[in-house]
Structure 1
């Protein structure tokens, strides 16, 4: 019935797997939990994660080398036994004790894609992690009704069920080797196929926050990927908010103004963004100006 697929890299998945296993066992469903380790380097963490092999229908497999975010998810799907694939990131935890029960109820409705949503805990994290928490709480944490207004662009594959037959036709693109927008390409392929998508409220908490400095680094990686996506026409610009806005700026020849803003104020913006008082307005300006900067010769 259900294959629960969890990729991990240098992260403890013990708490997550125990909770998912508990819920699946109580539901008395046919399931498996596959956890593939993408070449972790922290030996103590690997030994800790091996504990989950003691759970029924659960497997922790360690890859000899790191193959990347997209490739490991594709590999997990190919190895899965069941038709419904629940993709979970390693750094999440179910918000509710009936997390799986809500999904199982909706599986019967025969939707090829079901997205349960993501939440961020209400209490503020340590000051060095505030930027990721602010962005996630403000932008990613949405109810099913809000997500349904843009049903494809709202999907994040940190907590999503996909039918295996559909996933094997689409898969995560190996064209993106670094962080960011692999979700965008897969969601866009679902839109092109006119795939039925169901948004429900069965969220997970995102608990593995990046530090402010690490998140800025990942932000740039994601925007570099977005440049590649645009340059190779892998999605329609209207599908991605940043591409829509960049296209409009170029039509008024304002993109070079924003590129100049990045050149002149990069350090000032970054100083704010790595601080405990980081501003989302400055973060959005930073993202837009950086994207204009890396595309200024286009």
Structure 2
């Protein structure tokens, strides 16, 4: 029936697994929960407790594979026809989380379903505001808004899909660093006329990195985006960064944009890690750094 896949990295996934385990028992469905740590070194004792729960398994990779390849590996282990991919730092908003997905499985009217993502309403510490603000305004979208662009607004942090579909279109294993593996995956599905369905069944994203770390991870993610663009792995027509970059390229302004970014990067970074980060500046930061990568 249902294989729940949870990629783990430096996080205590036991509370999440315990909640999912209880909900699966209440639904009386065939299930397994597979957690796989990607060669991290924290919370291993806590996560090993997962193995004491019925049909729940925790193991660790000997070497770091990257999120996509780690999930691919878990999917191959999965015994059931449906997969539910959840990030380890998420937690269901409601106690009927599994029940809602179980209903979609029984209905069998969609091969892939995204439940949504939420962020706590209470503001975090000042050094975490950029990630929190970005999550609230760019990721935490209503079902109505998500349905306007069903594939580009779906994230693999809370995604139900058929194993047969995932076996046919696994994650690109060349993307081993953080970022944009979701986008590449969903665009590939769209290119093959597979559209994600959207329901109201969100998880909270709990683990907020500092603004400084989020900026560093954003740079890494942009390297992935450059790889996807340059290798022509997917049609990036729905990416705002690529749309603006393509316009700048036509106008022969990418090197000038990269030059301006080098001049003002420190000042923009200082604003973004402040207690009032601007998402407009964050967009300009990403565009500038992307132009820099493409100009090197």
> Which residue number corresponds to residue 74 of structure 2?
76
> Which residue number corresponds to residue 85 of structure 2?
87
Q: Does 1:105 align with 2:114?
A: no
In the TM superposition, what whole-angstrom CA distance separates every residue of 1:256-293 from its partner, at most 9, and x where no partner exists?
A: 34222211100001111122222112111111111112
SS of the aligned residue for 1:171 comes to coil
SS of the aligned residue for 2:208 comes to coil
Tell me how far apart the structure 2 counterparts of residues 210 and 103 of structure 1 sit (CA, whole Å): 29
> Which residue number corresponds to residue 55 of structure 1?
53
Shift of 1:196: 3.8
- Superposition pairs of residues 15-34 of structure 1, within 5 angstroms: 15-34=15-34
> Which residue number corresponds to residue 8 of structure 1?
8
Root-mean-square deviation (CA), in Å? Answer: 1.2
Q: Give the conservation status (yes or no) of the 8 Å contact 2:187–2:236.
A: no
Shift of 1:118: 0.4
In the TM superposition, what whole-angstrom CA distance separates every residue of 1:201-229 from its partner, at most 9, and x where no partner exists?
A: 10000001111111001100111111111
> Which residue number corresponds to residue 286 of structure 2?
287
Q: Does 1:234 align with 2:233?
A: yes
> Which residue number corresponds to residue 131 of structure 1?
130
Structure 1 segments unaligned to the other structure (5+ residues): none
Tell me how far apart the structure 1 counterparts of residues 88 and 102 of structure 2 sit (CA, whole Å): 21
> Which residue number corresponds to residue 219 of structure 1?
218
> Which residue number corresponds to residue 144 of structure 2?
145
SS of the aligned residue for 2:171 comes to coil
Shift of 1:108: 2.4
Give the paired residue count.
Answer: 295
SS of the aligned residue for 1:295 comes to helix
- Superposition pairs of residues 191-210 of structure 1, within 5 angstroms: 191-210=190-209
Shift of 1:105: 1.1
Shift of 1:154: 1.0
Tell me how far apart the structure 1 counterparts of residues 94 and 189 of structure 2 sit (CA, whole Å): 28
Tell me how far apart the structure 2 counterparts of residues 237 and 114 of structure 1 sit (CA, whole Å): 21
Tell me how far apart the structure 2 counterparts of residues 12 and 193 of structure 1 sit (CA, whole Å): 36
TM-score (ref. length: structure 1) = 0.96
Tell me how far apart the structure 2 counterparts of residues 57 and 104 of structure 1 sit (CA, whole Å): 17
- Superposition pairs of residues 109-120 of structure 1, within 5 angstroms: 109-110=107-108, 111-120=110-119
- Is 189-198 or 212-221 further displaced after alignment? 189-198
Shift of 1:39: 1.2
SS of the aligned residue for 2:197 comes to strand
Q: Give the conservation status (yes or no) of the 8 Å contact 2:150–2:195.
A: no
Tell me how far apart the structure 1 counterparts of residues 76 and 38 of structure 2 sit (CA, whole Å): 16
Tell me how far apart the structure 1 counterparts of residues 122 and 257 of structure 2 sit (CA, whole Å): 34
> Which residue number corresponds to residue 37 of structure 2?
37
